[in-house]
Amino acid sequence: MEPVISLHNVTKRFGQNVAVDSVTIDVPRGQCFAWLGPNGCGKTTLIRMVLGLARASSGSIKVRGLSVPGETQQALARVGAIVEEPRFYPYLTGQKNLEIWAAHQGGDARRQIAPSLDRVGLTSRKDDKVGGYSLGMRQRLGVARALLNDPELLVLDEPTNGLDPAGLQEFRNMIKELVREGRSVFISSHILNEVELMADHLAIIEKGKMITHGSLDDLKRGGSHAIAVRTDDVAAAEPLLRALPFALDVVRKGTDTLDVKVESIEDAMLLQTGRELFSAGVGVIELRKEGETLERRFLELTGGLAGELGGKMGGVTPGGASAPAPTTEPGA
């Protein structure tokens, strides 16, 4: 199936600064694809180029099989988007704002206003001026606007900014529903947990460069797995753990914890680890599985970049990350 977005060596420079650096990727159709990276890493710049709002310094971009720029008008005919922030005319009501965009889009867009407002739960507030909307409501109105042209592709830049927990849940459900309808959704985000809950595929970007991309499952599987052992005697435990048949390596983490690197984790491995330590008289405080989380994989790939993600990493501390991957992965 033809990719819904195809980027080939796309680069954007602002003077000496390279905001997007030779990005090549095919975004699959009919899925939720996430563009993941910290603030200022080039996510929005890439989206602006994809949508024809900014010109690439080099490289080629195709959206729905059509070149951007060149065939931008046809390419965007069934693309809905939120870029940076959902901006509106604050002095007009939500309904009148959508009427203005429907007038520009033509076709069936005007008839889509009511269902779009209904879908994002703003029907009861449609006659209020947008200036009085909360950020979350403006986000939802932005999605309603993006749906006016019955889009094949939705491009949403940090779409969950300003949403409360209930709104986040609703938003995730809406994205899943849109994907079930056969639409493609391209989101950018700096929030790992959010991406993990929504995306089927993702790409990780750092300082304008794409570090890796692939399906969520493949990316998580591609990372290392470990059994974290918290003990009262690290020196005694280490040789015992190295002798385990499934141990690839043992790495110290902090003063009382050792990570036993393994290919993949099975429950039997934890049982055997515990037995070996108990029988040698080494006290075990905690045994837990480490691995198969996007956070962990992200930290491995970026060398602790997640520390820049504004505390959105749950309990993971960047300082505890393993060393960065030495080379860029070509993708899964």
Partner 1 sequence: MIVPLVGAELRRIVGRRGSFYGSIAFAALIVVIAILAANPNDDDTAVEIVAVAGRYAGLLGVVVMGALAGSYDTANGTMRYLVLTGVPRWKLAVVRLLGIMLAVLPMAVLILAVGIAWGASTGDLDGTSVLDSLWAVVITLWTWGLVSCSVGMLMRSNGPAIAVSIVLFFGGTLITGLVYGLISETLASYLLPSVFEQVASLEGTNGDGDFAIALGAAFAGLVVWLGALTALAIVRTNRDEY
Q: CA 235 from chain center: how many Å?
A: 40
235 three-class SS: helix
Nearest distance, CB of residue 159 and partner 1, angstroms: 14
Give the Cα-Cα-Cα angle 218, 228, 321 (nearest 5 degrees): 60
Nearer to partner 1, 68 or 265 (CB): 68
Q: CA 283 from chain center: how many Å?
A: 40
Nearer to partner 1, 208 or 214 (CB): 208
The 10 Å Cβ neighbour count of residue 263 is: 10
Q: Is the dihedral of CA 49, 55, 61, 65 positive or negative?
A: positive
Nearer to partner 1, 100 or 135 (CB): 100
Residues engaged in binding partner 1 (CB under 8 A): 48, 51-55, 72-74, 76-77, 79, 81, 83-85, 87-89, 91-92, 96, 99-101, 103-106, 145, 149
Nearest distance, CB of residue 83 and partner 1, angstroms: 6
Question: Which residue(s) pair with 209 in the sheet?
Answer: 206
Element (H, E) at 61: strand 58-63
Nearest distance, CB of residue 81 and partner 1, angstroms: 5
Nearest distance, CB of residue 7 and partner 1, angstroms: 18
Nearer to partner 1, 71 or 233 (CB): 71
Nearer to partner 1, 80 or 291 (CB): 80
Nearest distance, CB of residue 40 and partner 1, angstroms: 18
Amino acid at the residue 40: G
Strand order in the sheet with 58-63: 17-27, 5-14, 58-63, 66-67
